[in-house]
Structure 1
């Protein structure tokens, strides 16, 4: 089975404190640590430092490489994942989640 890479980005709501942002990222790291059996790499990420101006206001991005689609599909409905998502929605204005298999374009 081919690995699946997840790209995700968060845009925090105005007024979100650095402490809240750090807590959301610490929770993300713990979530993936607790599910390490599903993941080959990650989470890896950071804050934008591009000078091109195409960040669309997103504050932080990360990638994770799941071992397979089956592992990603096991992770998505996991109660800990659902609880994490719910825990950050009060401070997150927008989210992008994009999963792909390397080199598979579908056309």
Structure 2
């Protein structure tokens, strides 16, 4: 059963490596989070690429180390979307700005 919408805030301190943080309104479900108003997600990672399983209809703005790198059009059932694709592993802060109604499932890294 899904939870009720909750408002989250990014921490003031930088995110430690491999930590995720939510900002804005999100609704936690059994296998997914549903995006609410002004939702953002931040994650610090070390990898060549980052991927995210998303469903619904809307857009996701990808920001890496404070620089917008792409906008992804999400449509339909939950496929895997490539967020970053670097030639070598690197440590970075990934931020996503997601349209209301999208469903977020899982991250993968390579």
Q: Hey, which of these two has a bigger chunk of strand by percent? A: 2
TM-score computed with the length of structure 2 as normaliser: 0.36
Larger Rg: 1
The structure with the largest helix share of the pair is 1
Normalising by structure 1, what TM-score? 0.36
Instruction: Identify which of structures 1 and 2 has the higher relative contact order when contacts are C-alpha pairs closer than 8 Å and 6+ apart.
Output: 1
